[in-house]
Amino acid sequence: MSNFTSVSTFLLWEFTEVRELQILYFFLFLALYLAGITGNLLIIAAVALDHHLHTPMYFFLSNLAMMDIGSVSVIVPKCMTNSIMNNWSISYSGCVAQVFFYFFFAASDISLLTVMAYDRYVAICNPLQYETIMHKGACLQMAAIGWITSLLYSTLHTSGTFANTFCSNAVSQFFCEIPKLLKLSCSDLYLVEFGLIVLGCCMGLGCFIFIIITYMEIFSAVLRIPSVHGKKKALSTCLPHLTVVSVFVFSAVFAYARPSTHDPSDVDIAFGMIYTIIPPILNPFIYCMRNKEIKSALWKFLDFGDSSKTKLDCMLFCM
């Protein structure tokens, strides 16, 4: 490969050369994007407008919805543009921005899911101290720590990746994925970014272990609740969060816990879509299906006049 002393653009992996299929991919990405944006905006609106949802759990949920909007907006609009324009190039600065913002939103998701697990732990295991521990200032502080940590983490990753000299500009993925970019490196600086990836994996694993331990304590406390109704009520507040965590973790494991291939393939594209696009789109639907308070708030929010018709539409949206 030729030695590129300065790369001005990167060439992303093309889904197909057939024009009809490119247009089909455009509409597919458009549908996914609109579904993700609409679902997450409805969650944010429901939490903001229903005073019954002005609690720490829904404060973090609305933050998660905002991060999901950002996450899906980093990659999908570019895929739509590439498909409809039949131009799979991305500028150097655009690639830098894509890496930076994707890692920021992904890291924010992990931190928020971890804090939400702690919130459920306090609510179920220490209900009498819940308002004392999870007061407004503490919630804002935990959210801010997650954002700042994610910002620093994203900055380190972006700096470590683009400090490299690239021998090629052909990225074997439909977005600027760090492992694919590191394969283009001509220098030994990729070892720095590799070390940051290992550090990030250890931090992510630590958050996952914390969530597992937290839920072990939660389930232990739920089993001690004497009434069946109380057990169901406690579990109903945990199942959506636990489902979202499972989707997030298993999609990432599904993508990276397989043998690495030297040549790009459609399988790489499929796995990339699974862990980058699907989780932020599914999250609002998971909460809509599993959380009665969110359903009720959405019914009120969408009840413009014909109550029965609107509620039916919302029910179909939540199914």
Residue 223 maps to a domain = yes
The CATH number covering residue 171 comes to: 1.20.1070.10
What is the CB-side half-sphere exposure of residue 314 using CA atoms within 13 A?
Answer: 22
Residue 314 maps to a domain = yes
Residue 92 maps to a domain = yes
Residue 280 maps to a domain = yes
Between 189 and 144, name the one with better pLDDT: 144
Whether the predicted pLDDT of 125 surpasses 80:
yes
Structure confidence by residue, pLDDT tens digits, 12-28: 988 878 888 889 989 99
CA nearest to 55, candidates 318, 295, 293: 293
How far apart are the C-alpha atoms of 133 and 115, rounded to whole Å? 13
CA nearest to 52, candidates 314, 305, 303, 294: 294
Residue 9 maps to a domain = no
Structure confidence by residue, pLDDT tens digits, 186-243: 877 767 777 777 888 888 888 999 999 999 999 999 888 888 888 888 888 888 888 8
Domain extent at residue 62 = 14-318
Task: Choose the weakest-confidence range: 66-75, 86-95, 249-258.
Answer: 249-258
Tokens of 317: 């949206």
Residue 1 maps to a domain = no
Q: What is the pLDDT of residue 7?
A: 73
Task: Choose the weakest-confidence range: 97-106, 107-116, 167-176.
Answer: 167-176
Q: What is the pLDDT of residue 33?
A: 93
Residue 261 maps to a domain = yes
Q: What is the pLDDT of residue 307?
A: 44
Q: What is the pLDDT of residue 69?
A: 94
How far apart are the C-alpha atoms of 248 and 76, rounded to whole Å? 18
Residue 2 maps to a domain = no
Average pLDDT score over residue span 78-88: 89
pLDDT more than 90, % of the chain: 36
Residue 150: count other Cβ atoms within 10 Å of its Cβ.
21
Q: Considering its fold, how many domains does the chain have in total? A: 1
Structure confidence at residue 147 as a pLDDT band (50, 70, 90) = very high
